[in-house]
């Protein structure tokens, strides 16, 4: 039953998040919100809703391992697994604007997260600092985008989401239903993950870093593959950077604000270290020896990222079982 709760919970979670985004976008349009803000705020929060709701439930129920593992594990899988797999299919070209703006912001967010983990605690004040930093970054991005000086954080929003023709009643229906199913499926997923961890004799951190993290990263995988099929490689890169900023600041910030938590030392020296190393690795691949030209993630580099992710999963699993 626990495995059924995890699998079904993930499926319903991803589906309900899409419906929630559709309903929220339609409702915002009828309320007169500009398409740019819908893309940056509604769609941005909606695509990170699975991680946010899961981490919030996990923190409130005393399972910090799932809350942190979900956020940091999603970041690691977003870079190493999703960008790596996407690059193997087709090299990813990085826009100069993304390199100049979003990579430094993600690096800053990751460094702040590591500084907060240093004492082995995530206090409520730490959570508030993360959320304040997140809203400052979002406010700056909205300000620059509204002035036409920069693109939306995470790339251009999906035009299909912004241009749908749902009625107001149908938009409200999907908004409410999507939110309700998000809460129910997240609750089932957290319960199932905790029970699976107990049955396997591992910590909930391991389940959060593997099963839950990979499952909640599936929407990013789908959007990245869709971007590659459309030839919009830079959109795949921007989506991953935007998602990781949401996870590092908003997801962990919400969890810590709800319930302060003790952090296992392994989260800092293994998981955070891998996360910052992958982020810095993006810098190397973006700049490298191509300072005068556009950066890109080549097929060999994508293959290396997949190998590194497989090694990381092996490290997590073997260290837990031993």
28 in any annotated domain: no
What pLDDT, on a 0 to 100 scale, did the predictor assign at position 308? 96
Max mean pLDDT among 78-87, 193-202, 238-247 falls in 78-87
pLDDT of residue 19: 83
Which domain CATH number covers 63? 1.20.1420.30
Q: Provide the 10 A C-beta neighbour count for residue 159.
A: 10
pLDDT of residue 162: 47
CA angle (248, 253, 255) in 5-degree steps: 110
DSSP letters for 139-162: HHHHHHHHTTSSPPTTSSPPHHHH
For residue 91, give both structure tokens: 């090299």
User: How many domains in the chain?
Assistant: 1
Residues 300 and 21: their CA atoms lie apart, in Å, by 35
Residue 159, pLDDT score: 45
**pLDDT value of position 161:** 47
Residue 61: which domain range? 51-157+198-321
Name the band, by pLDDT with cuts 50, 70 and 90, for residue 125. Answer: very high
Tokens of 161: 């989401």
Answer whether residue 173 is part of any domain. Answer: no
Confidence at 216, pLDDT banded by 50, 70, 90:
confident
Burial class (CB in 10 A: 0-12, 13-18, 19+), 182: buried
Q: Are strands 295-297 and 261-262 parallel, antiparallel or unpaired?
A: unpaired
Residue 118 falls inside a structural domain: yes
Q: Average pLDDT for residues 269-282, to the nearest whole number? A: 94
Q: pLDDT by residue (tens digit) across 201-210?
A: 888 899 999 9
Q: How high is the pLDDT of residue 134?
A: 93
Q: How confident is the model over 16-28, as a mean pLDDT?
A: 80
- Residue 6 domain-assigned? no
Q: What is the pLDDT of residues 126-145, one digit of tens each?
A: 999 999 999 998 888 777 76
pLDDT computed for residue 23 by the predictor:
82
218 versus 106: the higher-pLDDT residue is 106
Is residue 34 one of the residues assigned to a domain?
A: no
Q: For 160-171, how does the pLDDT look when each residue is reduced to its tens digit (9 = 90+)?
A: 444 456 788 888
The CB-side HSE value for 163 (13 A sphere, CA atoms) comes to 4
User: Looking at residue 296, what DSSP letter applies?
Assistant: E
In a domain, 245, yes or no: yes
DSSP-derived secondary structure for 96-135: HHIIIIIHHHHHHHHHHHHHHHTTSEE-HHHHHHHHHHHH
Alpha helices in 147-209 (DSSP H): 159-162, 168-200, 204-207
State the pTM of this model.
0.85
In a domain, 81, yes or no: yes
Position 193 in a domain: no
């Amino acid at each position: 039953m626990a495995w059924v709760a995890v699998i079904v919970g993930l499926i319903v979670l991803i589906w309900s998040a899409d419906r929630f985004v559709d309903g929220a976008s339609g409702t915002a349009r009828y309320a007169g919100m500009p398409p740019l803000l819908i893309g940056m705020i509604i769609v941005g929060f909606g695509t990170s809703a699975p991680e946010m709701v899961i981490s919030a439930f996990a923190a409130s129920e005393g399972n910090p391992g799932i809350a942190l593992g979900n956020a940091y594990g999603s970041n690691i899988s977003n870079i190493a697994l999703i960008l790596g797999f996407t690059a193997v299919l087709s090299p990813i070209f990085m826009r100069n604007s993304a390199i100049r703006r979003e990579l430094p912001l993600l690096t800053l967010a990751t460094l702040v997260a590591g500084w907060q983990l240093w004492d082995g605690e995530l206090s409520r004040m730490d959570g508030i600092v993360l959320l304040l930093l997140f809203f400052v970054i979002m406010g700056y991005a909205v300000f620059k985008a509204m002035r036409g000086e920069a693109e939306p954080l995470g790339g251009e929003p999906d035009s299909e989401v912004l241009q749908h023709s749902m009625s107001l009643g149908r938009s409200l229906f999907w908004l409410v239903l999507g939110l309700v199913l998000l809460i129910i499926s997240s609750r089932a997923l957290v319960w199932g993950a905790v029970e699976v961890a107990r049955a396997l004799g591992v910590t909930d951190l391991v389940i959060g870093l593997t099963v839950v993290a990979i499952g909640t990263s599936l929407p990013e995988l789908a959007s990245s593959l869709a971007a590659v099929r459309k030839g919009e490689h830079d959109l795949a890169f921007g989506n991953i950077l935007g998602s990781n900023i949401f996870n590092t600041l908003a997801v962990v910030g919400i969890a810590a604000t709800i319930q302060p938590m003790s952090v296992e030392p392994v989260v800092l020296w293994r998981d955070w270290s891998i996360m910052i190393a992958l982020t810095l690795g993006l810098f190397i691949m973006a700049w490298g020896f191509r300072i005068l030209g556009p950066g890109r993630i080549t097929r060999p580099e994508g293959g290396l990222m997949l190998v590194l992710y497989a090694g990381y999963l092996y490290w997590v699993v073997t260290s837990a079982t031993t």
